[in-house]
């Protein structure tokens, strides 16, 4: 017997034909329970490991899942939301033999390139995160028919695309209401990009809370979910609304930049300006002024998205949960 067991040896040991052994190993049909058990026992006894290339010809599976991220490369390394998503997906795949394929799709890239890659059979399923309206990934994935899940609500509201998310509208509303309850009346916001549903939904929630309280909802600046963008937006707010006494910043990364801008302007936090962020992924607790924030369960969301894709690939019933509740974490900044 060779040092590396072959399919022929498995068949001989199990007392079945080579084709029966192949179907049993690769999950094919028309294999009796007795033959399946005999092959399973032979595989265990011999320590046989199927050739992945040959197996893929039978199963038409690649044993790979794509994580599609339409952001510049540096964002993967520097943005805690994206790095948390990567950790969550990788952890969910850890108990399997599946390989994670990272597909970088920068904003403005042709969605056709990504669609062609997914349609060509390189992966069995796809998880999309941090998507933008103009990147075309929603329509591209509808066309591929590949099992896919978005981390974050897609703009397509036809219930055709699967996604997992938290209630970002309620998150924005809760953040603003916390500031209102603290007695703040001149409350500004730094939004995320409005070509992303997270940016739109958090802004919508903030505005609804202010309007419900009869407060002015006109102190608004838009940014890009980066630290530098948050600092620049905070400076613009101080120029156009120097009387503001609170600000909701739609990510902790932007809020860390906003805190720096407030400090440089001589504003005390929370004495002069109370600040609430969004995410609670480490930056908030470690800020110079620990940041009140909305917890965004990124790792759990990515984990759930991965298990949903795996269930779809296996033609199983995916998990029923698609949304996580809102949790406010109060610290010194408010």
User: Which pLDDT tens digit goes with each residue over 141-176?
Assistant: 887 778 999 999 999 877 788 999 999 999 999 999
Q: What is the distance between the alpha carbons of residues 244 and 179, in angstroms, rounded to a whole number?
A: 12
- Cβ-Cβ contacts under 8 Å for 131 (sequence gap 6 or more): 68, 70, 137, 138, 150, 152, 154, 196
Count Cβ atoms below 10 Å from residue 101 Cβ, excluding itself. 15
CA distance 128 to 68: 5
CA distance 161 to 52: 30
Is the Cβ–Cβ distance between 100 and 76 less than 8 Å?
no
Region 305-326 average pLDDT = 86
At 208-221, the pLDDT tens digits run 999 999 999 999 99
What is the pLDDT averaged over residues 114-129? 83
Strands ordered across the beta sheet of 99-104: 99-104, 64-69, 125-129, 148-151, 163-166, 323-324
Cross-strand bridge partners of residue 4: none
Residue 205: pLDDT band by 50, 70, 90 thresholds?
very high
The per-residue pLDDT for range 60-93, each reduced to its tens digit, is 567 889 999 988 777 877 889 998 999 999 888 8
Decide if pLDDT at 115 tops 80.
no
As a whole number, mean pLDDT of residues 106-131 equals: 77
State mean pLDDT over 104-132.
Answer: 78
pLDDT-derived band at 327, boundaries 50, 70, 90: very high
Residue predicted with more confidence, 244 or 76: 244
Higher pLDDT, 73 or 271: 271
Q: What is the mean pLDDT of residues 274-284?
A: 95
- 98-107, 254-263, 271-280: range with lowest mean pLDDT: 98-107
**In percent, how much of the chain has pLDDT > 70?**
92
Go through the domains of the chain in sequence order and give each one's CATH number.
Answer: 7-59 (1.10.260.40), 64-165+299-324 (3.40.50.2300), 168-297 (3.40.50.2300)
């Amino acid at each position: 017997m060779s040092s590396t067991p072959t399919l022929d040896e498995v068949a001989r040991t199990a007392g079945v034909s080579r084709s029966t052994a192949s179907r049993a190993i690769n999950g094919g049909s028309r294999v009796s329970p007795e033959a399946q058990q005999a092959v399973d026992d032979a595989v265990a006894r011999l320590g046989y490991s199927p050739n992945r290339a040959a197996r893929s010809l039978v199963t038409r599976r690649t044993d790979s899942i794509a994580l599609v991220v339409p952001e510049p490369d540096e964002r993967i390394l520097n943005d805690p939301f994206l790095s948390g998503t990567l950790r969550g997906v990788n952890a969910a795949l850890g108990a399997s033999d599946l390989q994670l394929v990272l597909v970088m799709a920068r904003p403005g890239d042709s969605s056709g390139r990504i669609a062609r890659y997914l349609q060509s059979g390189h992966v069995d399923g796809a998880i999309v995160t941090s998507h933008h309206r103009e990147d075309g990934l929603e329509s591209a994935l509808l066309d591929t028919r590949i099992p896919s899940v978005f981390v974050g609500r897609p703009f397509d509201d036809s219930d055709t695309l699967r996604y997992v998310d938290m209630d970002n509208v309620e998150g924005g509303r809760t953040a603003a209401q916390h500031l209102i309850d603290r007695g703040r009346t001149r409350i500004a916001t730094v939004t995320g990009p409005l070509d992303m549903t997270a940016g739109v939904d958090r802004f919508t929630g903030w505005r609804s809370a202010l309007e419900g309280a009869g407060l002015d909802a006109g102190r608004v600046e838009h940014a890009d979910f980066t630290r530098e963008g948050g600092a620049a937006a905070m400076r613009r707010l101080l120029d156009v609304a120097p009387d503001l006494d609170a600000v909701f910043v739609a990510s902790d990364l932007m809020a860390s930049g906003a805190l720096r801008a407030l400090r440089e302007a001589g504003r005390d936090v929370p004495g002069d300006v109370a600040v609430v962020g969004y995410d609670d992924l480490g930056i908030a607790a470690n800020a110079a002024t620990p940041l009140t924030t909305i917890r965004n369960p990124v790792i759990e969301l990515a984990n759930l998205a991965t298990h949903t894709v795996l269930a779809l690939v296996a033609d199983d019933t995916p998990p029923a949960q698609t949304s996580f509740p809102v949790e406010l974490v109060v610290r010194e900044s408010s």
